[in-house]
Every structure is written in C-alpha cells, then in structure tokens.
Amino acid sequence: MATIKGALLEELVRAYFARQGFFVLRSVPYRFDEEDVTDLDVWFYSRQAASARIRAIVDVKNKRSPKAMERILWVKGIQVALNCDRAIIATTDNNPKVAHFAQSQKIQVLSKGFLERLEKKLSKDNRLTLEEFESTVQQYVAHKQDGDWLRIIGEAKSAVACMGGFPAFNRAMFAFRFFGERAEVRLQHRDIALRCALQAAALACISLDAGLERVVFEDGERRYSSIIDGINYGDDGDNRVLASIQSALAVLTEGLPNGRTVAAQAQDYFDQKIAGIRADIIAEHFSREHNAQHLFSVAKELDEAAHEHILSNTGLSVEARTVLGVFADFVGVKRTVLPMASVKIAIPAKNTAVRAIVPTDDKTDGTLSLENLDADLPISLSAEDEKNDLHVQKPLL
C-alpha cells in the first residue's frame, strides 16, 4: 500500500465506485454561505430508481498515522451536514478497533487489505485523473485571468454536493455557458474549453436529476411548473425566494406614498428579467419522464467524455447529444461549438478490427483497432454490464 500515495489512492477509490455505476467526483469543495469549509475527497451519487437517489462521501487517508478514529467522527459530521445517505472511510489503519468503532457509527470502512487487492485487480481507467485534467486546463496560461477556469469548475462541483438541485443546476449552467462561449472565441484552447463544458454539463445533469426527484410522481403540468420555478427562482419546492420577493413588493406598496406605482414598476421589470431566462426550454424537454430518465446515464457519459485522453475520439450517444443541444439552446451557446457529431461502430468481444458505419453523406469508411476491450474486473465489484456498442465521434475541425 505504500506505493499508492494520496491522490492516487483517491483515484483508485473513484474508479472503484465509478465501476459500480455511481457518478463520482473527487476533491469537491464544501462551501457554506460562500465560505470554504473543507474538501470532500470523494463524493458520489446514484439514481437507484425513479424516486430514489443515493448520495455518499468517502474520506480517503493514506498516511503513516491515518488517525482513523478521528476521521470516522469527521466523516460522520460531514454526512450529517450534507444530509448524505452513506459515509465511508478508506484507510490504511489496520487496527481492528477501527472497524468496530465505524460500525457503531454506521460508517463503512475500505480497509488496507481491501485497498491492496483493489490496487492489484482493478484495471486502470482510460481517462485523465483529476490532476491531469487540471494540468490540461493550466496549459492555458491565462486561464486564471480569463475568469479563473478551475475556480468556476470547482464552484459547480461544490454546488452539486452542497446545494439543492435547482440552485446547483443554475450554477452548472453558468459554467456551461462560460466554457461554451470560450470554446467559440478561444480557438487555441478550444479543446480545453470543451472538456470543461462537458464537465459542467455532466454536473448540470446530476443537479437537474436531483431537483426532479421530489416531483417524479406528479403530472406533467406540475413537473413543468416545478422546473420553471426551480430555474427562475432557485427554489427546491419551498417557494422561499418567490415569497421573499412578494414580501419586498408588499413593503414597497405599503411603505411609500406612491408605493403601488413603484411596486408595479418593480414587478414589471422583474417579470421581464424572468422571461429572459427561457426556463421553458428546459421544462419542455425534461418535464417528460422518458427524457428525464436519461439524465443520470448522460451525466456519467459526459463526465467520461470530459476526461478522455483524446477528446476528438469521444463518441456521444443520441441521448447525450440531445441533452447538450437543449442546454446549448437554454444558455444561448451555438450547437456547432459542441462535440455533437458521431459515428457508430460495433464492439467485438476481443482485440479485433471493426468497420465504422459512417453517415450517408460520407464517401469513405475505415477500420479501427480496439484493444483490451474485455475490461472485466477480476474481483467482484458489482460493475455495470458493458454496453454492446460504442460511438466514435468525428475529429473536431
């Protein structure tokens, strides 16, 4: 276990839960009221059913003195603060009392022995690690002066874990629009901007899926209005923001000599600003359950796409491209900026050549050699079944 240090152990834990079918984030800032509190080593989310979601945190520590007992209390407190369903610690501490204490607190433990077996038998994902992703962003030397790209991604990640569904969605959409616009005008750094845009879109999918959890059994009209209100006011169904606005207008009406006129003007201006948000674009598409049910799977797909070593070889499903298109229309980003064209090919069982099926307006085809396609895990990890097909995108121009 001494060969795995800090970030690499976090990446191993991330890969493990990702193989189990969760949407997983590393190094998530925990913020409260715009103040930084701490960092979450690993945070993951899953849609178990139409009305069931799971949120969990993992505290990962690989030190000479991991202080596992102390970390159990720490992660328990974070679990309560974030209202997570599960809390886990991954520790190199071999003390049997650690497991007993963790059980008493209903905390799960990934032990040193388990992590060692995981290291040996879990194949490495063909994706950028968090450190590699951030290093890629930092290749744009002016990224900090140009809005601070890493900060924007960090704030979107934090919102997913720390805020309600719709406030987090609005934060992710801000990031998506920012990077979509940068992809259009920063041509030398378009690849980097597209990666960030895909990551922001993945976070938006998770946020929107979480926001829709409470209205899953409502009729279409109620779901539509919930999405409208959630996006316009950042509410999670409690109408607190709208109530605060109405209270402020009531104060204007009663507290000023010409209060009714001033309040009416304020209401008109506010209505104009709300109309400009175009929340109906999101509501029209995702108020339908057969569209909303794809949010979780699309989030995982976009997250993988953002972390591919070669972005131009990323293939997106029809569902993922549809979601990107809806998001682009919502924030006013050109669809042509995004990686949305794809070519579908069949996946063989072993290392063989396969022939691409290209669109009808393309005169050529070719063969692609795919290696190491049988990525089954040697140990039981409850991994998702591998898909039977793959989409390969045309290289970006």
Which pLDDT score is estimated for 344? 38
Let me know whether 377 and 318 are in one domain.
no
Which pLDDT score is estimated for 302? 94
Let me know whether 199 and 279 are in one domain.
yes
Q: Label residue 108 exposed, middle or buried (CB < 10 Å: 0-12, 13-18, 19+).
A: middle
Taking only the tens place, the pLDDT of each residue in 75-98 is 999 999 999 999 999 888 888 888
Question: Does residue 107 lie within any of the structural domains?
Answer: yes
Let me know whether 158 and 294 are in one domain.
yes
> How many helical (H) and strand (E) elements, i.e. helices and strands, does the chain have?
15, 9
What number is the average pLDDT over the span 284-299?
Answer: 92
Domain harbouring 62, CATH code: 3.40.1350.10
**93-107, 110-124, 317-331, 348-362: range with highest mean pLDDT:** 317-331
Which pLDDT score is estimated for 49? 79
What number is the average pLDDT over the span 233-250?
Answer: 71
Let me know whether 298 and 363 are in one domain.
no
Taking only the tens place, the pLDDT of each residue in 383-394 is 333 333 333 333
Question: Does residue 128 lie within any of the structural domains?
Answer: no
**Sign of the dihedral defined by the CA atoms of residues 128, 156, 299, 13, in that order:** positive
Let me know whether 305 and 364 are in one domain.
no
Which pLDDT score is estimated for 312? 61
What number is the average pLDDT over the span 155-177?
Answer: 93
Question: Does residue 114 lie within any of the structural domains?
Answer: yes
Tell me which residue range forms the domain holding 362. Answer: 341-397
Which of 87, 121, 155 is where one domain is finished?
121
Which pLDDT score is estimated for 363? 38
360 pLDDT above the threshold of 50: no
Which of 280, 306, 328 is where one domain is finished?
328
What is the tally of structural domains in the chain? Answer: 3
Range of weakest confidence among 101-110, 271-280, 297-306: 271-280
Taking only the tens place, the pLDDT of each residue in 26-61 is 999 998 887 888 999 999 999 987 778 999 999 998
Let me know whether 281 and 151 are in one domain.
yes
Let me know whether 160 and 21 are in one domain.
no
What number is the average pLDDT over the span 238-263?
Answer: 74
Which pLDDT score is estimated for 240? 67
Let me know whether 186 and 273 are in one domain.
yes
* Closest C-alpha to 227, from 279, 305, 293, 301: 279
* Closest C-alpha to 59, from 93, 95, 96, 21: 93
353 pLDDT above the threshold of 60: no
Let me know whether 110 and 138 are in one domain.
no
Let me know whether 151 and 114 are in one domain.
no
> Is the overall model pTM greater than 0.85, yes or no?
no
Question: Does residue 127 lie within any of the structural domains?
Answer: no
Let me know whether 261 and 180 are in one domain.
yes
Question: Does residue 333 lie within any of the structural domains?
Answer: no
Kindly indicate the confidence band of residue 215, based on its pLDDT and cuts at 50, 70 and 90.
confident
Question: Does residue 335 lie within any of the structural domains?
Answer: no
Mean predicted lDDT score pLDDT of the chain? 79
Percent of the chain scoring above 70 in pLDDT: 79
Question: Does residue 126 lie within any of the structural domains?
Answer: no
What number is the average pLDDT over the span 307-329?
Answer: 85
Range of weakest confidence among 187-196, 222-231, 364-373: 364-373
368 pLDDT above the threshold of 90: no
Which of 328, 352, 379 is where one domain is finished?
328
**How would DSSP label each residue in 39-89?**
EEEEEEEEEEETTEEEEEEEEEE-SSS--HHHHHHHHHHHHHHHT-SEEEE
Which pLDDT score is estimated for 267? 74
Q: What whole-number distance in Å separates Cα of residue 324 and Cα of residue 201?
A: 7
Kindly indicate the confidence band of residue 257, based on its pLDDT and cuts at 50, 70 and 90.
confident
Let me know whether 193 and 252 are in one domain.
yes
Question: Does residue 1 lie within any of the structural domains?
Answer: no
* Closest C-alpha to 201, from 283, 318, 303: 303
